[in-house]
Chain A
Amino acid sequence: MTDVVTYVEAIRLALRTALSEDERVVLMGEDVGGGGGAFRATLGLQAEFGGDRVIDTPISEAAFTGAAVGMALDGMRPVVEFQFSDFITSGMNAIVNTAAKMHFRARTPVPIVIRAPAAGGFAGGPFHSQNPEAWFLRTPGLKVVCPATAEDAGLLLGAAIADPNPVLFFEQKSLYTRVKGEFLYNSAAPLAGAITRRAGEDVTVVSYGATLHLALDAAAALADEGIDCEVIDLRVLCPLDFESVAASVAKTGRCLIAHEDYCRYGVAAELAARLAGELFTDLDAPVGRVGAHFWPIPFSPPLEEATLPSRDRIADAVRELALF
């Protein structure tokens, strides 16, 4: 029987496995050592592997991310933890300018993983709740991952560390201890590919990350009303598995994209444009989108709740599409 682990335990086990199997791997970030990080993702790893492999850094995101890029250029496999994905702006140049463009400019690989706890739902306020994936998705040269399950947390992190390119790995704070599953690790696993989490015939709901669970809840509720949803988990946002989405939408003729990030210029905007452009004749309804409302994520719980997508907002949007 396989042990069941939480999402954050899967992250920790994947990091531990990578540190054990590959001496090129180092972890770096604020508080990753004795404290085990703000979310305890690295708890115990410094004690096991030493301060040279699990490296505590000062509050110097630009310098330690830049240093990690240099280590990666030289063949190491640094895994950098940003304490919250919101803080990634403090290390932005090293990611979007130095790392992302290096292989294109000079054909030198930069195998670096940036781990960052993302998303809201716990009164974190405007600076501890953001979903920054779209910033990176429109930067050529970066891969972007957003696991929604404990299985994927381990599997995709192992694949990200093995990948020879810069990878942004957006962990979902609200899933850390809430979802459980089998610990999977395979450094040869593909860092690509969507998964159909629920098969259905009427409406395709595309999602990823924490919002996937809201989409699955909405699909369960809608089933009672006779609306049969197919729910697709994108898992990896770049490279994007558009083919899986297209195959499903060709079948259902209706598509809703739901994610916690803003809809404007993000994953939903991109998918909607591609579906309209490439599946125009298959569509029986306009492509729908659900995301956070377009203002900063407020602190006060009722305000935050009203800002982020919910099961009900997703269900309402699907009902609208089903009317066509």
Chain B
Amino acid sequence: MKHDESLVRDAGFWLHLIRAVESAGRSLYLQGRLPGSFYDGRGQEATSVGAALAMAPRDIACPLIRDMGVHMVRGVTSAEMFRHYLGKAGGPMEGRDGNIHLGAFDRGTIPMISHLPEMLPVGMGVAVSRVRRGETSAAIGFCGDGASAGGVFHETLNLAALWKAPLVVIVERNGYAYMTPEAKYLAVPEIASRAAGYGIPSWSGDGNDVLEVHSLVSTALDHARAGAGPSLVELFTFRMHGHGAHDDQRYVPEAELKSWEARDPLLRWREHAERVLGWTPADQEELDARIDEDVQAGLQDALAASYPPLDELESSLFAA
């Protein structure tokens, strides 16, 4: 399969940036310097990066806690991301919300709520509104395999099918719902098979291969933008860290982690890069240095930033 060089280059940049930002944030938390906890998407970077790179400017996404890639591809900088995690002024939520609850409507993302998968219909509503106005737009609603057991998953897919809504539901099949292994919450081998119950198409594939993710999600988005209705994309991946940095996930068998370590999305990308770009160790060094510089600058910016003012808390409750 032939891949566009710039796509491979972009994907590599974002994969490495997300990995580095999340590693730095996790370290901060473990040092006791970051409030709350730190929820990362280690091992799942390819799903959010591949999906975000398939989005058009007027598409909308509802990313969840393993999907930092969407936020950064859509324009959140390292400095803004660290400010957000530290609860500082100048982050997308101005300290009103933390960890990966963030979004900026004008950048094409809606901040998630913690109740899952409540964001699926919200993203759909935005894209439906745009299509009604004559725009071309599609929504990506992310959903974990765990949250696919929630009632809103069914309600939304049924409603989306009835409306032929431009919604792509991406199920990130990462094997665990917090501490519970999938055998305890999934009654079928493939969540994608449930699409048949709504009369919609589905695709499933390797969620750790950023180019495969990009290709599948592009197909689903094209389907949605063409007015053909919703679809389901199931991406097989694995959560390499715990639910959050406070969770050492001792409940995950070592062998399972090892087998997925070999399928790390950054390693998978490297294979593509060597094939498509003739990627060399020198190229990698240069990329790593560039990323490190960006992340360190962002981190220093955020650590030095002030906290948001207290005087706007009540006055920002309502829109004027």
A interface residues, Cβ below 8 angstroms from B? 52, 57-58, 60, 62-76, 93-94, 97-98, 101-111, 140-141, 143, 164-165
Residues of B within 8 A of A65 (CB): 121
| Option from A62, A73, A140 in Cβ contact (under 8 Å) with B105 | A73
- The answer to whether B130 touches A98, judged by C-beta atoms less than 8 angstroms apart, is no
14 contacts between A and B (CB under 8 A): A57-B159, A60-B156, A63-B159, A64-B121, A66-B121, A67-B122, A67-B128, A68-B125, A70-B110, A70-B123, A70-B127, A93-B118, A94-B122, A98-B122
Q: A62-B151, A63-B158 are in contact. Are A103 and B318 (CB under 8 A)?
A: yes
- B120 in the interface (beta carbon within 8 A): yes
- The answer to whether B159 touches A67, judged by C-beta atoms less than 8 angstroms apart, is yes
- B258 in the interface (beta carbon within 8 A): no
Main secondary structure of the interface of A (DSSP, over half): helix
- The answer to whether B319 touches A109, judged by C-beta atoms less than 8 angstroms apart, is yes
- B115 in the interface (beta carbon within 8 A): yes
Residues of B within 8 A of A63 (CB): 120-121, 152, 155-156, 158-159
Q: Report how far A109 CA is from B320 CA in the complex, Å.
A: 9
Nearest-Cβ distance from residue B128 to partner chain A, whole angstroms: 6
- The answer to whether B320 touches A164, judged by C-beta atoms less than 8 angstroms apart, is yes
- The answer to whether B317 touches A103, judged by C-beta atoms less than 8 angstroms apart, is yes
Residues of A within 8 A of B162 (CB): 58
Q: A70-B129, A73-B125 are in contact. Are A98 and B105 (CB under 8 A)?
A: no
Q: A74-B130, A98-B113 are in contact. Are A62 and B121 (CB under 8 A)?
A: yes
- The answer to whether A70 touches B126, judged by C-beta atoms less than 8 angstroms apart, is yes
The interface stretch among B12-20, B67-75, B92-100, B189-197 is B92-100
B window 284-318: CB within 8 A of A: 316-318
| Option from A57, A98, A107, A141 in Cβ contact (under 8 Å) with B118 | A98
Residues of B within 8 A of A103 (CB): 316-319
Nearest-Cβ distance from residue A90 to partner chain B, whole angstroms: 9
Nearest-Cβ distance from residue A165 to partner chain B, whole angstroms: 5
- The answer to whether B103 touches A106, judged by C-beta atoms less than 8 angstroms apart, is yes
What 10 pairs across the A-B complex have the smallest Cβ distances?
A70-B125, A66-B121, A63-B155, A109-B319, A74-B129, A67-B125, A60-B155, A164-B319, A70-B122, A70-B126
- The answer to whether A141 touches B317, judged by C-beta atoms less than 8 angstroms apart, is yes
Q: A70-B128, A73-B110 are in contact. Are A62 and B122 (CB under 8 A)?
A: no
Residue tally, chain B, CB below 8 Å to A: 42
- The answer to whether A74 touches B118, judged by C-beta atoms less than 8 angstroms apart, is no
Q: Report how far A104 CA is from B318 CA in the complex, Å.
A: 7
Nearest-Cβ distance from residue B64 to partner chain A, whole angstroms: 14
- B111 in the interface (beta carbon within 8 A): yes
Q: Report how far A107 CA is from B124 CA in the complex, Å.
A: 20
Q: Report how far A74 CA is from B113 CA in the complex, Å.
A: 18
Closest A residue by C-beta to B105: A108
Residues of B within 8 A of A70 (CB): 110, 121-129, 139
- The answer to whether A75 touches B96, judged by C-beta atoms less than 8 angstroms apart, is no
| Option from A58, A109, A140 in Cβ contact (under 8 Å) with B159 | A58
Q: Report how far A110 CA is from B111 CA in the complex, Å.
A: 13
Q: Which of A67, A72, A111, A165 has the most CB of B within 10 A?
A: A67
Nearest-Cβ distance from residue B291 to partner chain A, whole angstroms: 28
- B132 in the interface (beta carbon within 8 A): yes
Nearest-Cβ distance from residue A164 to partner chain B, whole angstroms: 4
Residues of B within 8 A of A101 (CB): 113
